[in-house]
Amino acid sequence: MIEEIQDDAEQRMAKAVESLKHDLARLRTGRAHTSLLDQVTVEYYGMEVPLKQAANISVEDSRTLAVTPWEKHMVPVVEKAIMSSNLGLSPVSAGQTVRVPLPPLTEERRREMVKLVKSESEQARVAIRNVRRDANASLKDLAKRKEITEDDERSGQEGIQKLTDRYVAEVDKVLEDKEQELMEV
């Protein structure tokens, strides 16, 4: 039972770290990356679909993305969707391709993004601590029902704390890496 609780807690903590990595991958660092346009949606045959389902997105060079819609009539729709996505990007259509140049980041914008990254990291830490709280509550409940001994409960809580420390350290490492990436000129 204790192992099941610890395994569940570990899986949930790992998901919190993965979610943080996914969220931080969307933040642009001045280099072109196709995931920058992941949240952009376009109307395609009457439905809102992610841009990557209606077009091919590729990195043209370190500061430019190329978006090639599957169908020629989608070029203005894709261009409008990117403009209205609040990403601060100005797409330029060139025939059947929409080029998205990335403006260089200013020092002020970099600092704002670092604050955002720190806030995202804190949310991941809170999620990990919530998993710890839930796991410890489950252990206490088992001890209360006399299904495990107090010593088993204490050792289980120590194991949960070690997991928590490990995943919080992983969040700190992800934060540090992203900060360095953002502040790199």
Domain that holds residue 118: 2-26+106-183
Tens digit of pLDDT for each residue in 55-114?
Answer: 999 998 878 889 999 888 889 989 998 888 777 788 998 889 999 888 777 788 788 888
Domain count, the chain: 2
Cβ count within 10 A of residue 171: 22
* pLDDT single digits (tens) 127-171: 999 999 999 999 999 999 999 999 999 999 999 999 999 999 999
Q: Which of 47, 71, 101 is the last residue of a domain?
A: 101
DSSP 53: G
At 36, the amino acid letter reads L
CATH classification at residue 161: 1.10.132.20
Q: Please, which residues bridge with residue 59 across strands? A: 65
pTM of the full structure: 0.69
CB atoms within 10 A of CB 62: 10
